[in-house]
Amino acid sequence: MKKIGNQTFKLDNPVTILETASIVGKKEADGPLAKYFDVCLEDEFFGEKTWEKAESKMIKTSIETVLKKSKVPVSSIDFLFAGDLLNQCISSSFGIRDFEIPFLGIFGACSTFVEGLLLGSLLLDGGAGNYGIAATSSHFCSAEKQFRFPLELGNQRPPTSQWTVTGSAAAVLAKDGLGPYITHLTPGKIVDKGIKDANNMGSAMAPAAISTIITHLKDTGRSPTYYDAIITGDLGHIGKGIVLELSKAEGYQLNSVYNDCGVLMFDKDKQDTHSGGSGCACCGTVFSGYFYNQLKQKKIKRMLLVATGALMNSTSSQQGESIPGIAHAVSIEL
Amino acid sequence: MESINTNKEYQKYVDKKSPNSPIFKDCFNAFWVGGLICVIGQIIYDYFIFRGFPQDLTSTIVSISLIFISAFLTAINVFNKIGKFAGAGSLIPITGFANSIISPAMEYKSEGYVMGVGAKMFTVAGPVLVYGISTSVIVGLVYLLFNTQAIMLV
């Protein structure tokens, strides 16, 4: 691996995304991407007594599913990166505790999935084993409970708010394989433009996404049209608009290739999700479900996956802190 | 497009890009749903007065009835839908207060009856109680100081 430009790592031995799995809740299954997901839940409790347990079970199920689909035995998995939104990442650690796979817990808020892919690729490229897993989860109910209000509280959501995706995604990375390959990694810098409104996450994270995308393009010397798709994680409709406008102002025309998982996940008009989807599982499931399928079918040959995260919690919000945004990018090519 | 460099400029740009809440629609819905809740209260009141209950007891019955209806609708996952539609219309009457206590009680039941339900029940209504009661104490003191008749009574 070598560093190119300011922030990008080019892998010597591109890592294959061997298989992906996605599991989503009912609202996501009612959305336009339903047919691409492996498992669609009927019940947000997933047969458990609490939402936290349901979320743990989701991440467990998505890892079991991806192992089954990839036909890689558990004993051959050398490491597992996972993280989620709940305090101290309990969904991941509780969901994973029975697997007996070396586990590295990570937190990047909603950028966790790509952070996992990025770290996993570095390890495999460096020769640390043959197979690794990156996984993440989020749950609308547990996220509301932790970050906002009780579910049954009769309040209104502002039009800028986003809907946390209920779901989990997992991907098996392999040192040797036939692609799709992860070729370049651009870990992001924290960008904080002073937005304080926790109901306007897309606007808070958009500058970080713009920074990472433009840095990646500069570092690699690529133009936006080198990619068939440049996809951000969960900026939603408002954040997507900001990325398009502000990157254009900096001389990068993304229109033809750019989209956002939060925009793709729900039907804005029918599903009352306001600015779109969010949460760790937003980027995770839309990539693992839809985009991985498109890569496999060779409908998309080169994509830049840019997961965005808002690195705040409810205490920092209450203390009047602004929201630091982050975006990590991986370049995936056939 | 003008350049966006400082945080202030970005905030201004974001404000322009972010859609506002539909204020006229929200106010209209709040007005008629809030009014309807009051009408329901009045119907209960008139009924019990008609049945020969004393006035002060009837007022209590009205409050209790509305609290029960609100708590029941909260428990069967209906009140949040009314609240989403009506906003302040269902929040300001006593129905909103009941909902703000029942909903965290339901939410935190998974952490047990002491540290969950007991400790978290007033997370939403707590500030209303603290500042509501504090305000009434201050108003009471002002009343006591400036109302000579009250001082005579003391």
B103 touches chain A (CB under 8 A): yes
Question: ipTM of this complex > 0.95?
Answer: no
Question: According to the model, what pLDDT value does residue B147 have?
Answer: 78
Number of domains in chain B: 2
The per-residue pLDDT for B1 is: 58
Q: Cα angle at B47 between B45 and B52, to 5 degrees? A: 95
* DSSP codes of every residue in B27-81: HHHHHHHHHHHHHHHHHHHHHHHHTT--HHHHHHHHHHHHHHHHHHHHHTT-HHH
Write down the domain spans for chain A: 2-174, 181-333
Which pLDDT score, from 0 to 100, does residue B144 have? 86
Inform me whether the C-beta atom of residue B29 falls under 8 Å from chain A C-beta atoms.
Answer: no
Q: How far apart are CA B97 and CA A154, in angstroms?
A: 10
Per the CB < 8 Å rule, is B1 touching A249? yes
A2-4/A8-24 β-pairing: antiparallel
Instruction: Say whether B18 and A238 touch across the interface (CB within 8 A).
Output: yes
A75 touches chain B (CB under 8 A): no
- Which residue in chain A has the smallest CA separation from B111? A50
Give the per-residue pLDDT at A27: 96
Residue B5 lies in a domain: no
**C-alpha to C-alpha distance for A280 and A118, rounded to whole angstroms:** 15
- The reply to whether A2-174 and A181-333 are identical in fold is yes
Residue in B8, B13, B14, B120 to test binding to A, most A beta-carbons within 10 Å: B14
Residue A114 is encoded by which pair of tokens? 């790509």
Residues A229 and A331: their CA atoms lie apart, in Å, by 10
The number of residues in chain A equals 334
Residue B6 falls within a domain, yes or no? no
B55 and B128 both lie in a single domain? no
pTM of the model: 0.93
By DSSP bridging, strand A131-138 and strand A167-174 are antiparallel
Average pLDDT, stretch A304-310? 98
Domain encompassing residue B50: 21-123
Return d(Cα A176, Cα B103) in angstroms, integer.
52
Using alpha carbons only, what angle is made at residue A200 by residues A83 and A262, rounded to the nearest 5 degrees?
55
A2-174 is classed CATH 3.90.78.10: no
For residue A55, the one-letter residue type is E
Both B153 and B87 in one domain: the answer is no
Burial of B54 (0-12, 13-18, 19+ CB in 10 A): exposed
pLDDT of residue A248: 94
- Closest-CA residue in chain B for A197? B11
A180: left (phi over 0), alpha (psi -120 to 50) or beta: beta
B113/B152 same-domain check: no
Q: Closest partner residue to A154 among B4, B82, B104, by Cβ?
A: B82
Q: Is residue B64 one of the residues assigned to a domain? A: yes
* Same-domain pairing of B80 and B140: no
At A40, give phi and psi (nearest 5°): -115, 125
B52 exposure class (CB count in 10 Å sphere: 0-12, 13-18, 19+): exposed
Nearest to A222 by CA among A8, A3, A1, A2: A8
Q: What is the pLDDT of residue B4?
A: 82
For residues B49 and B55, is the Cβ–Cβ distance under 8 A?
A: yes
Q: Which of residues 34-63 of A touch B (CB under 8 A)?
A: 49-52
Cα(A307)–Cα(A212) distance, integer angstroms: 10
Per-residue pLDDT of chain B in tens (154 residues, 90 and over written 9) = 567 889 999 999 999 999 998 999 999 999 999 999 999 999 999 999 999 999 999 999 999 999 999 999 999 999 999 999 999 999 989 999 999 999 999 999 999 999 999 999 999 999 999 999 999 999 999 988 887 675 565 5
Establish if B12 belongs to a structural domain: no
Spell out the CATH class of A181-333.
Answer: alpha beta
CB contact under 8 A, A52 and B110: yes
Please check whether residues B84 and B137 belong to one and the same domain.
no
According to DSSP, residue A108 is labeled B
Q: Which helix (H) or strand (E) holds A124?
A: helix A112-125
- Once rounded to an integer, what is the mean pLDDT over residues A10-37? 96
